[in-house]
Each structure stands twice: as C-alpha cells, then as structure tokens.
C-alpha cells in the first residue's frame, strides 16, 4: 500500500474507531454492546488456540482426566483415582513431574474446601480485545463453564471467568486493576476488599480502621451471594505491609498473592460450591517457629585462683591468710622469739659460772 494522503486518513480513521470501541466496551461493563462480538471472536478463535496448544504440548490433553470432578458423590476417591491415572500418562520428565506436583496441590486445595472443580490448562496469555491481565483456558461452555465462576490453582485464588466460548474461556486474573474481591482475615475475621495492582502487591481496604493487623497475617475470600463470582475460603495472600490507620474509617494493607500470575499452567474452575464455608481450612498450616537456643556459659577456674600478684611481681597469700600486726617488729616473729629464748639461756649460763 502506497504512503498517500488517502492511506494516512484511512489509518487515522481506523485508530479512532478502535479507541471508540474500547471506550464503549469499558463504559458498558457487563452489558457492553461489543460483548456479542467478543463471544463470536472466542467461538472462532477458540478452536484455533486449542489446536495450537495441543500441537505444541500433547501432554496437556491429559488434564482432561480431572475435568469431570464436579460431582459431590465420592468426589475425593474419584479425584485420587483420576490423579493416579494422570500421573501414569504424564511420564517422568522434569516438566511433567512439575505439572504433576501442581495437579496434586490443586486437588488437595479442592478436597480441603470441598470444591467441585474442572481442571484446565492455560493455553494463551492476554486477550485480543484489551490490555488486561487475562489468560485463556482450554475449556468452555461445552464443558459446563459459565461466566463469573471462581478459578484457583494449588496456591490459591487465580481469578474469575469473564468470557466463555464453546471450547475456551477467558479468566481475569486477581492482580488486574479492574479485579476486586471480598476478603476475610484469618482468625480475626476482619473484612475488606482486595484490588489488583499489576505486578505490585494487592491493595486491601479493611472496613475496620482500628483493626489489628501485622505482617504475615493471611487472607481468604469472603464469598459472594450465591457463590458467584467467588466461593468462600480460597486463599488470597499474605500481608507484607500495613499503613498506619491515622484515625480513618478504613485501613489499607498490602498483600502478596499466593499465586504467581506469570507462571500459570494448570488451573481449576469451581463448578460446584461447598455446602459450608470452609473458613481457614484451605490455608496451609503455618510453619512452627524454631525454639530460641539457650546460651550456656561455663567458667573454668584458673590455676592461680588462690594467689594475687604483688606490685613487685611476687605471689603472696590471698585474703584468708593472717595479716601481721603493724606494731610488731619486722622480720619473722618465730625467728625473733627463738633469738630471745637463745639469749636468755646464754645469760643463765653466765650467772652459773
């Protein structure tokens, strides 16, 4: 195409139309007029993404072994059986061993919270219709996936389903600036709202401005009405910084997510909520603090403990030894007494002569 005035005008017009569509989409929210076009694009492009993912990574097809784990009856036994079969199919190389560990962790989370999940694999990053933190997974409406379902993995909350095609679905990640989820503090039950900040920690507004929070405290999802878009009890993250309250009605804390959003691979979509709120049961046990070592001081007596050194360097007896009378004549008293006795004997001998 030649660089002419008409081509430049066409380019400017296309850019203006694109920005107009993005603005309408953002302001429209869930009722966006372009939502139909987005679903149509997912319908057309979904099979292509699935085909590419299957060609690049044939092992990923084995994830389908856990996609039918939504039935409540005998769920744990079925998951364990399917997990064993999947391990046998995945092989033993390093990457597959890592994926097996991820699958084990995810199934353990689902079992602890009694969530009915369908396993999925991340096959694409980002979305064609925007610049959000999103991923595409390889299951969709034909697998029972619906909009506003909770997505988790072996570490905790991943996000929620936003767009569903026949064979794929788009997941908005929890670190996206447009993502908000209700949270509850472990043990203290303080409520708040967590908002994504990209590659920064989540910002959480606690409803109680005087809430006692410290670094290391953990949060889980509070849950939504009818469990959509969020089921309760999914681990969210750990407090890394607490802003001073300053007398405000709310308090801001910053939370590092449990999930690493830049290395997602295997995830699970919650298709059946638990009968009861699992509370803190899905959180991993805290590591026990190591006991503080006791310092023992051993004193070894010196060979010269019974003596002190005089000014001239000679050793003298310690304080337990008797002290001479300063009025007594100098010299050894015993020697003086002997001399006096000897003198008296000599005088008696002279008198007898």
pLDDT tens for residues 18-33? Answer: 767 676 665 555 566 6
CA distance 116 to 118: 7
**Whether the predicted pLDDT of 40 surpasses 60:** yes
What pTM does this model have? 0.60
Q: Please, which pLDDT band fits residue 60 given cuts at 50, 70 and 90? A: low
Q: 258 and 238 in contact (C-beta within 8 Å)?
A: yes
Q: Please, which pLDDT band fits residue 126 given cuts at 50, 70 and 90? A: confident
**Whether the predicted pLDDT of 134 surpasses 80:** yes
The tokens for 74 are: 């005998």
Percent of the chain clearing pLDDT 90 (strictly above) = 43
Identify the weakest region by mean pLDDT among 68-82, 157-171, 312-326: 312-326
pLDDT given for residue 106 in this prediction: 94
**Whether the predicted pLDDT of 119 surpasses 50:** yes
Residue reference for tokens 């139909």: 36
SS3 track for the chain: CCCCHHHHHHHHHHHHHHHHHHHHHHHHHHHCCCHHHHHHHHHHHHHHHHHHHHHHCHHHHHHHHHCCECCCCCHHHHHHHHHHHHHHHHCCCHHHHHHHHHHHHHHHHHHHHCCEEEEEEEEEECCCCCCCCEEEECCCHHHCCCCCCEEECCCCEEEEEEEECCCCEEEEECCCCCCEEEEEECCCCCEEEEEEECCEEEEEEECCCCCCCCCCCEEEECCCHHHCCCCCCCEEEEEEEECCCCCCCCEEEEEEECCCHHHCCEEEEEEECCCCCCCCCCCCCCCCCCCCCCCCCCCCCCCCCCEEECCCCCEEECCCCCCCCCCCCCCCHHHHHHHHHHHHHHHHHHHHC
Identify the top-confidence range among 88-102, 258-272, 322-336. Answer: 258-272
Q: Which residue has the higher pLDDT, 225 or 248?
A: 225
Q: 271 and 116 in contact (C-beta within 8 Å)?
A: yes
CA distance 59 to 56: 9
CA distance 337 to 334: 5
pLDDT given for residue 338 in this prediction: 43
Average pLDDT estimate for 230-236: 96
pLDDT given for residue 352 in this prediction: 42
pLDDT given for residue 161 in this prediction: 96
**Whether the predicted pLDDT of 240 surpasses 80:** yes
Q: Please, which pLDDT band fits residue 321 given cuts at 50, 70 and 90? A: very low
Q: Which residue has the higher pLDDT, 265 or 9?
A: 265
pLDDT given for residue 162 in this prediction: 94
Identify the CA nearest to 173 among candidates 111, 103, 236.
236
Q: Which residue has the higher pLDDT, 83 or 102?
A: 102
**Whether the predicted pLDDT of 328 surpasses 50:** no
Q: Please, which pLDDT band fits residue 11 given cuts at 50, 70 and 90? A: confident
Distances from the Cα of 153 to the Cαs of 107, 158, 237, in angstroms? 9, 7, 13
pLDDT given for residue 224 in this prediction: 93
**Whether the predicted pLDDT of 229 surpasses 90:** yes
Percent of the chain clearing pLDDT 70 (strictly above) = 59
Q: What does pLDDT average to over the chain?
A: 76
> In degrees to the nearest 10, what's the CA dihedral of 327, 332, 333, 337?
-130
pLDDT in tens, 62-93: 555 555 445 555 666 776 777 677 666 655 56
Average pLDDT estimate for 317-343: 45
**Whether the predicted pLDDT of 341 surpasses 50:** no
pLDDT given for residue 255 in this prediction: 97
């Amino acid at each position: 195409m030649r660089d002419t005035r008409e081509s430049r005008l066409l380019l400017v017009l296309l850019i203006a139309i694109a920005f107009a569509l993005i603005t309408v989409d953002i302001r429209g929210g869930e009722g966006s007029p372009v939502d139909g076009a987005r679903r149509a694009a997912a319908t057309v492009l979904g099979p292509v993404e699935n085909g590419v993912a299957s060609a690049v990574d044939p092992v990923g097809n084995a994830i389908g072994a856990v996609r039918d784990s939504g039935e409540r009856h005998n769920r744990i036994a079925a998951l364990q059986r399917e997990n064993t079969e999947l391990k046998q199919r995945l092989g033993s190389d390093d990457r597959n061993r890592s994926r097996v560990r991820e699958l084990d962790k995810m199934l353990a989370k689902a079992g602890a919270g009694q969530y009915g999940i369908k396993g999925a694999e991340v096959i694409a990053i980002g979305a064609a219709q925007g610049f959000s933190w999103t991923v595409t997974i390889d299951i969709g409406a034909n697998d029972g996936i619906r909009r506003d379902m909770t997505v988790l993995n072996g570490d905790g909350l991943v996000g929620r389903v936003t767009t569903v095609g026949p064979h794929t679905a788009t997941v908005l990640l929890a670190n996206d600036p447009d993502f908000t989820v209700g949270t509850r503090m472990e043990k203290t039950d303080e409520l708040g709202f967590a908002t994504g900040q990209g590659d920064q920690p989540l910002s959480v507004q606690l409803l109680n401005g005087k809430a006692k929070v410290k670094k290391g405290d953990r949060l889980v999802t509070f849950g939504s009405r009818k469990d959509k878009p969020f089921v309760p009890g999914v681990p969210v993250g750990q407090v890394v910084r607490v802003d001073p309250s300053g007398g405000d009605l709310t308090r801001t804390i910053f939370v590092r997510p449990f999930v690493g959003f830049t290395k997602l691979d295997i995830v699970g979509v919650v298709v059946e909520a638990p009968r009861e709120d699992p509370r803190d049961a899905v959180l991993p046990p805290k590591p026990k603090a190591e006991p503080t070592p006791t310092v023992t001081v051993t004193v070894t007596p010196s060979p010269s403990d019974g003596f002190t050194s005089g000014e001239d360097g000679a050793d003298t007896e310690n304080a337990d030894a008797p002290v001479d009378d300063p009025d007594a004549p100098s010299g050894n008293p015993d020697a003086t007494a002997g001399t006096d006795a000897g003198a008296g004997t000599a005088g008696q001998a002279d008198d007898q002569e």
